[in-house]
Structure 1
Amino acid sequence: MSFHAALAALTLAAAALVPSLTPSQAAAVSCEGASHEGRRYTLCTVSAEEDLRTFLRAPDGTVWGHFSTLDAALRQKGETLAFAMNAGMYHEDRAPVGHYVENGQEEMRVISSPGPGNFGMLPNGVLCIGTGEAQVYETRDFLTRKPDCRFATQSGPMLVIDGELHPRFLPDSTSRYIRNGVGTSDDGKTLVFAISEEPVSFYEFGTLFRDGLKMPNALFFDGNVSRLFAPQIGRTDIGRTLGPIIGVVVPAE
């Protein structure tokens, strides 16, 4: 089954569109409810041709922290967020734990050594956004290939590596959280961002991308601070101040 056929099979009827949704927002991102092995998710599908960016700091150096703050600043420039999600782990000061690139400028280098927590549960990975293409790379593969990334964020662990689940995921794990992450299609033209609507294990979340979406590579973002901004389905998650954010920018109308 192809990726697009798998996505169609997974998705359920989406929530009614918000009346204020603009045509550009609707065209840029498709967010829908989905079910895989009896567990509920929200999936947001994005073409790599869209204006997909990472965000961390405002021009004055303060972290954006919240979707609403970032969207308000974009609107002052005639733009708006069509979609956004927290995009990787960060320290207490909201600085990224691993590799981070924004508009071609590297803020944090690649971390390839094992370490504590989920980030250090190797293999971890990097989401690299180029021009018209985006790929999730396992970190060592990323260092070997040295792809040109306009935007990038590193997180961990990998959920799917070349069609296989992370080797440390256990089918009978009882560690469950609301989790979010991203997978990329084999040709790098499509990204699917997913957030669970109920607590799931790493194994369960990984199988969503491997078996449900047929995606060869997928990366975990977080399981403590998972947040989604999806105006087309009336969703604006709030909570603690975020570090790296990823989002699609469209003209405000």
Structure 2
Amino acid sequence: MRSLRPRALLAAALLSALTACSGAGGLAVERVEAGGRLYTVAVVDLRRDTLRLHWKDPATGEPYRTLRAVRERMGRTGQNVGFATNSGIYAPGPRPLGLHVENGRTLVNVNNARSGGNFALLPNGVFWVKGERAGVTETQAYRRLNVAPTYATQSGPLLVQGGRLHPAFNRGGTSFKVRSGVGVCRDGQVRFVVSAGPVNFYTFAVFFRDTLGCPDALYLDGSISAYATPGTDTQFADFAGIWTVSR
């Protein structure tokens, strides 16, 4: 359920047409270059933007699967989605592999797996949102936090924790893939990132920490990762959890 085909050329073509969209300090979708690599970065201000997590269409009980389906449903109720992207790693169904909280309801519980792919490359963590607050918290620390979030997703590995890179990452890592992640940054804003081409974990984590100023960041998924704006949709595989940003 992971890499389906190379995406560097496709992503580069789509990104070349992307224009930043923003509104009085709210959502901004930007192309950011660092170290010779290009990334799409969505900057979310929770004081002005509405960030939501979706899995199943309440009308059918079935997973949305696509960014387009979520955006169309929200559009029918007058909610204009400025940005959408995949949530964390998932299992067949599609079903979130770890914690999934929507509208304060826990639909999938915390997964304490200690082996099996990137999700269990410990430490992993939880990205959570409650009102104007958001955090990226190591999984066991999250369980002790008792934050009662409105929305939350669990994935792994943690890219950055308290300004420190995951201990398993190294500059010479040979696993290069398109990657997506989310960080909570020093300015208090949330940043979703999708790389335009393959990067290793070390480079991706350093981008969050050093370029975006995010002391805490979580890996979401790999080669299938995608995003949508009003003029762009890069998705080519189904998703379980989907994040949307609207005004």
TM-score, with length taken from structure 2 = 0.88
Q: Deviations over 1:82-108 (max 9, x none)?
A: 111101011110111000000011011
CA 1:100 to 1:203, structure 2 compared with 1: closer, same or farther past 3 Å? same
> In structure 1, what residue type is equivalent to 2:46?
A
- Structure 2 letter corresponding to 1:88: G
Check conservation: 1:180, 1:196, Cα contact below 8 A. yes
1:46 matches 2:44: yes
Deviations 1:139-163 (A, max 9, x none): 1211121212000000100000110
Following TM superposition, the consecutive aligned residue runs of length 4 or more in structure 1 with deviations greater than 2 angstroms are 14-18
AA in 2 matched with 1:216: P
Rounded to whole Å, the distance in 1 between the matches of 2:119 and 2:132 is: 28
Q: Which residue of 2 aligns with 1:80?
A: 80
Q: Deviations over 1:31-85 (max 9, x none)?
A: 1111111111111100122210100000121111111111111111111211111
Judging changes above 3 Å, is the alpha-carbon distance between structure 1 residues 176 and 42 closer, same or farther for their aligned structure 2 residues? same
Q: Offset at 1:112?
A: 2.8
RMSD (CA atoms): 2.0
* Aligned equivalents of 1:27, 1:48: Cα separation in 2: 10
| Cα 1:27/1:230, change in 2 over 3 Å | farther
1:55 corresponding residue in structure 2: 54
What residue in structure 1 maps to residue 246 of structure 2? 249
Task: Tell me if structure 2 keeps the 8 A contact 1:28–1:248.
Answer: no
Please state whether the residue corresponding to 2:203 is helix, strand or coil. Answer: helix
The one of 34, 37, 57 equivalent to 1:36 is 34
In structure 1, the residue matched to 2:157 is: 157
The AA in structure 2 aligned to 1:97 is: L
Long gaps (5+) in structure 1? 1-13
- Structure 2 residue 126 is matched with structure 1 residue 126: yes
Q: What do residues 8-39 of structure 1 show as CA deviations (whole Å, max 9, x unaligned)?
A: xxxxxx96649xx8x86x86410111111111
Residue of structure 1 in register with 2:235 after alignment: 238
What is the aligned partner in structure 1 of residue 8 from structure 2?
none
Residue 176 of structure 1 aligns with which residue?
176
Structure 1 residue 230 displacement after superposition? 2.0
2:96 aligns with 96
Do 1:15 and 1:32's aligned partners in 2 also have CA atoms closer than 8 Å?
Answer: no
Q: By how many angstroms is 1:199 displaced? A: 0.3
- SS of the counterpart of 2:120? coil
Partner of residue 222, structure 1: 221
1:174-213 matched pairs, under 5 angstroms: 174-186=174-186, 189-213=188-212
Q: Indicate conservation of the 8 Å contact 2:89/2:96, yes or no.
A: yes
| Aligned residue identity for 1:167 | P
Structure 2 distance, partners of 1:113, 1:92, is 17
- Asked whether the equivalents of residues 89 and 221 of structure 1 are also in contact (C-alpha less than 8 Å), the reply is yes
Aligned to 1:166: 166
Matching residue's letter, 1:75: G
What count of residue pairs does the alignment treat as equivalent?
231
| Distance across 1 between alignment mates of 2:65 and 2:149 | 23
**TM-score for both structures, normalised by structure 1:** 0.86
SS in 1 for 2:80: strand
The amino acid that maps onto 2:189 is T
